Amino acid sequence: MNSQRSDGDFEKTPSQGGLHSPAGSTDERQPGQFTHAPVLAAEVVQGFRDRRTPSTVIVDATVGLAGHSQRILDELDWAEVIGIDRDRRALEQAQDRLSRYGGRARLVHARFGEISDAVAPVAAVAGVLADLGVSSMQLDDPGRGFSFRFDAPLDMRMDPDGEDADVAGFLLAVSTKDLIRIFRENGVGTLSIRYANALKSQLPVATTGELAEIIVSATPARLRGGRTHPATKVFQALRVSVNYEASELIHFLPAALGLLDRGGVMQVISYHSGEDRLVKRFIRLVETGGCICPPRLGCTCGAEPAGERTTRHAIIPSDDELAANPRSRSARMRALRRTANDVADVLERYWQQVPTWHG
């Protein structure tokens, strides 16, 4: 496999400060290099080990700092990896880590919602992995505006070179009503209206510091002293919004199923309940073929199962992993093996049903 990136060379930027690890991973910086502990890595490799496809390609749809990709390439000698990320700075780091695997690894700058185009001309693969969310490299880079720990321009885009608005621009454009809905859908809770009104009445909000301050001021005094900063969920909701994270996942799941060879496996690691619910419903739909006949009458709609879950329940980090890496605590991995040759019918049913899967 060609080890060159498909979209040309990335311009090198100076190494960013701080830890370089995915959210949920621990990293210890060695002089001149970074080490890396990807979440549920042994379980991810195990999930791909039993290969039942002619294809040997595994797509790491969120390659980040290539922690999972490295483990896959080290432990599965048959595997070739195509790594995708929307963040060019992550790809630069991944490139450094994967160059020693030569033609077994290729990197692509793309969104995973467009996974099929991103991996073309490869059209059938043995496995797909998505380790959702942001990396600690993104969270811990003071200049990128993901965290209220650093005062920085209010950006939060995973692809800052893209054309989408940053959070500062998004707050100017969004209506108060939509902002309330976004906060509610992303777990901000009963203070959603109060926070949305506070932000919309103090525009422009240009920095992470200003955003955090407005949220703290709008929080009733009795709720301010908790373990979690009052702005945590607001930051997450705005990040999810400007990066279209829900829409990306909605498009990724069927595209990944379509890309798998029969017998291929997809594995998705989620870090919040909304994502995990969507993945779970998708797996159930594929297992039932999208049948919505009342169970007591049996299926009369002709739905055929197109895949099966490979583990009964979601996989969560072991006690050892949690002890070594507390940031992995919210991780849940679900996996699906494609069993059908033809998945067109189940994908059509998915697009009919997914608009009704609220929250």
Ligand X SMILES: C[S@@+](CC[C@H](N)C(=O)[O-])C[C@H]1O[C@@H](n2cnc3c(N)ncnc32)[C@H](O)[C@@H]1O
Q: Quick check: 290 binds ligand X (CB under 6 A)?
A: no
Rounded CA-CA distance 145/153 in Å is 6
Residue 106 · residue 6 · CB < 8 Å? yes
Q: Quick check: 321 binds ligand X (CB under 6 A)?
A: no
Q: Which stretch binds ligand X (CB under 6 A): 26-34, 60-68, 304-312, 317-325?
A: 60-68
Residue 134 · residue 239 · CB < 8 Å? yes
Q: Quick check: 86 binds ligand X (CB under 6 A)?
A: yes
Q: Which stretch binds ligand X (CB under 6 A): 57-65, 120-128, 253-261, 280-288?
A: 57-65
Rank residues 88 and 233 by Cβ distance to ligand X and give the closer one. Answer: 88
Q: Which stretch binds ligand X (CB under 6 A): 7-15, 83-91, 214-222, 336-344?
A: 83-91
112 labeled part of a ligand binding site: yes
**CA Rg, the chain, in Å?**
21
Interacting residues of 93 by C-beta distance below 8 A, sequence separation 6+: 20, 34, 65, 66, 137
Q: State which of residues 62, 147, 270, 325 lies at the interface with ligand X (CB under 6 A).
A: 62
60 labeled part of a ligand binding site: no
Q: Quick check: 208 binds ligand X (CB under 6 A)?
A: no
Q: State which of residues 81, 84, 152, 291 lies at the interface with ligand X (CB under 6 A).
A: 84
Rounded CA-CA distance 273/332 in Å is 9
Residue 5 carries which side chain, given as an amino acid letter?
Answer: R
Rank residues 96 and 210 by Cβ distance to ligand X and give the closer one. Answer: 96
48 labeled part of a ligand binding site: no
Residue 85 · residue 162 · CB < 8 Å? no
Q: State which of residues 58, 65, 306, 347 lies at the interface with ligand X (CB under 6 A).
A: 65
Rank residues 38 and 230 by Cβ distance to ligand X and give the closer one. Answer: 38
CB of 74 to ligand X, least distance (A): 13
Rank residues 135 and 219 by Cβ distance to ligand X and give the closer one. Answer: 135
**CB neighbours (10 Å) of residue 356?**
7
**CB neighbours (10 Å) of residue 293?**
13
Residue from 92, 89, 90, 95 nearest 81 by CA:
95
Q: Which stretch binds ligand X (CB under 6 A): 84-92, 149-157, 175-183, 330-338?
A: 84-92
Q: Quick check: 158 binds ligand X (CB under 6 A)?
A: yes
Q: Which stretch binds ligand X (CB under 6 A): 78-86, 163-171, 286-294, 351-359?
A: 78-86
Residue from 321, 229, 346 nearest 41 by CA:
321
229 labeled part of a ligand binding site: no
Could you say which DSSP state residue 123 is in?
-
50 labeled part of a ligand binding site: no
Q: State which of residues 47, 64, 290, 307 lies at the interface with ligand X (CB under 6 A).
A: 64
Half-sphere exposure of 223 (CA within 13 A, CB side): 12
Roughly how many angstroms between the first and final C-alpha of the chain, as a whole number? 40
Interacting residues of 358 by C-beta distance below 8 A, sequence separation 6+: none
Rank residues 86 and 334 by Cβ distance to ligand X and give the closer one. Answer: 86
85 labeled part of a ligand binding site: yes
Using CB under 6 A, which residues numbered 92 to 151 contact ligand X? 111-113, 131, 133-135
Rounded CA-CA distance 33/145 in Å is 24
74 labeled part of a ligand binding site: no
Q: Quick check: 332 binds ligand X (CB under 6 A)?
A: no
Q: Quick check: 38 binds ligand X (CB under 6 A)?
A: yes
Rank residues 311 and 330 by Cβ distance to ligand X and give the closer one. Answer: 330
Q: List alpha helices for 108-262, DSSP H.
A: 115-119, 136-139, 167-173, 176-185, 192-200, 208-218, 232-242, 245-259
Residue 359 · residue 275 · CB < 8 Å? no
Q: State which of residues 80, 248, 261, 275 lies at the interface with ligand X (CB under 6 A).
A: 248
Residue numbers belonging to the annotated binding site for S-adenosyl-L-methionine: 66-68, 85, 112, 131, 138
Please report, as ranges, the residues that interact with ligand X according to CB under 6 A. Answer: 22-23, 38, 62, 64-68, 84-87, 90, 111-113, 131, 133-135, 158, 248
